[in-house]
Amino acid sequence: MNPERKYLVLLAPVISEKSTMVQQKSNQVVFKVARDSTKLEIKTAVEKLFEVQVLSVQTCNYMGKEKRMGRHVGRRSSWKKAYVRLAEGNSIDYGVA
């Protein structure tokens, strides 16, 4: 993997009720990732950036919704989400207070 690519694969952590429950229940973290990224790229990016061991990666593609504001019609961007399962004893701290 290109050294700069690991910074372009992971866009942001997804912090929601569901992602918090998944993190506590099955030691998974959720990230918003680049749409063209593969599972292998996501795995290596998380392992290199956070220095943890990744067991598996699951991805979901979300299509952008069509939204209207009066008579004007627009469209939200499509995006991709990745569920990353960490090995026992590993964790990622987002630093959110």
> What is the predicted pLDDT for the residue at 1?
75
pLDDT tens for each residue of 53-88 = 999 999 999 999 999 999 999 999 999 999 999 999
State the pLDDT confidence band at 96, using cuts at 50, 70 and 90. Answer: low
- Written in H, E and C, the secondary structure of the chain is CCCCHHHHHEEEECCCHHHHHHHHHHCEEEEEECCCCCHHHHHHHHHHHHCCCEEEEEEEEECCCEEEECCEEEECCCEEEEEEEECCCCCCCCCCC
Read off the pLDDT of each residue in 12-19 and give the average, rounded to a whole number: 94
- Number of separate domains in the chain: 1
- Tell me the residue range of the domain where 46 lies: 5-67+74-86
CATH of the domain at 14: 3.30.70.330
Note the pTM of the prediction, 2 decimals: 0.88
